[in-house]
Amino acid sequence: MSKWKIRPINTGYVTTAPRQYIYHHSVLPAIPGIPEGRITMPVFCFLLDNGIQNILVDTGMAWTERADKYHHAGSYQPEGMAICEQLQKIGINPHVIDAVILTHLHWDHVYYLDRFTHATLYVNEKEYRFAMNPIPIYYKSYEHPSLGIESQFRSLSFAFTKDEEELFPGIRILDTPGHSPGHISVEVDTAEGTYICCGDSLFMRKNYDPVYSLGYDVTPPGRYSDIIEAWNSIARQKIRAAGREYLLPTHEPAIEELIKTKPVIG
């Protein structure tokens, strides 16, 4: 079995209201201490390497002006944190990336895609079709041309993924829809066990936890395209993961703490 190393790369910070995004309204009375206002959360993507191939799961968010003006106000990308700049710092040119697997096509997961000129870009077909023609409430998420800005993926070609497909030895696709119509997660075998890059199927590991007083076995999110699919996708990953810490959600603050002492997993 091929063993991969996973390097989490934080590409900046988005602001969000936990009571609208991270937690479903039904759990608000049952969980004390959820902040009333907005919080700032990291935006990770993940570099996978097995010594031969380099693969990215997502490419992260935009520069500050774009993120703040068109998306969540107050979001920002500190100097040097764009994906290509960070790859440069560890001696990796975008041209040596073999594949980019996109968990979904929301704006904070797809920036600078055109820089990866030698990479095959993978996405779920349903996600791609919806992203190219979303309903208006998702225009901002997918940077629809009607906003007067250029989206990152509209002119690019993609290969479509299949559920349970072993895309590379030790890297498997899991269909985890619900946050968006064709969201996928990426299961990665490492020397330290199997990790799942969850994208936004779990906003944070908190979505993994049961809410005992309600009889919920997961904490459902507040932002979704389909709450039944979103619930089942979290439940599916709970079954497959060896534990909470094996889940790598894009916006998990604990990963920021982890990489201070352990920049590479596996």
Task: State the residues that interact with Zn ion by CB under 5 A.
Answer: 108, 200, 250
Question: Rg (Cα) of the chain, in Å, rounded?
Answer: 17
- How would you classify the pairing of strands 184-190 and 171-175? antiparallel
Closer to Zn ion by Cβ: residue 201 or 219: 201
CB of 218 to Zn ion, least distance (A): 18
Query: Cβ(266)–Cβ(4) under 8 Å?
Result: yes
CB of 197 to Zn ion, least distance (A): 12
Closer to Zn ion by Cβ: residue 103 or 161: 103
Alpha-carbon distance of 144 to 75, in angstroms, equals 19
What stretches of 21-168 adopt beta strand conformation (E)? Answer: 39-49, 54-57, 99-101, 120-123, 159-160, 166-168
For residue 52, count CB atoms less than 10 angstroms from its CB and return exposed for 0-12, middle for 13-18, buried for 19 or more: exposed
CB of 32 to Zn ion, least distance (A): 26
C-alpha 183: how far from chain center: 9
DSSP structure class, residue 161? P
Closer to Zn ion by Cβ: residue 67 or 174: 67
CB of 104 to Zn ion, least distance (A): 8
C-alpha 73: how far from chain center: 20
CB of 251 to Zn ion, least distance (A): 6
CB of 105 to Zn ion, least distance (A): 11
Structure tokens at 3: 């063993």
Closer to Zn ion by Cβ: residue 181 or 266: 181
Alpha-carbon distance of 235 to 233, in angstroms, equals 5
Structure tokens at 156: 């690019």
Closer to Zn ion by Cβ: residue 106 or 172: 106
Closer to Zn ion by Cβ: residue 207 or 250: 250
CB of 95 to Zn ion, least distance (A): 26
Closer to Zn ion by Cβ: residue 108 or 127: 108
For residue 256, count CB atoms less than 10 angstroms from its CB and return exposed for 0-12, middle for 13-18, buried for 19 or more: middle
Structure tokens at 130: 């919806």
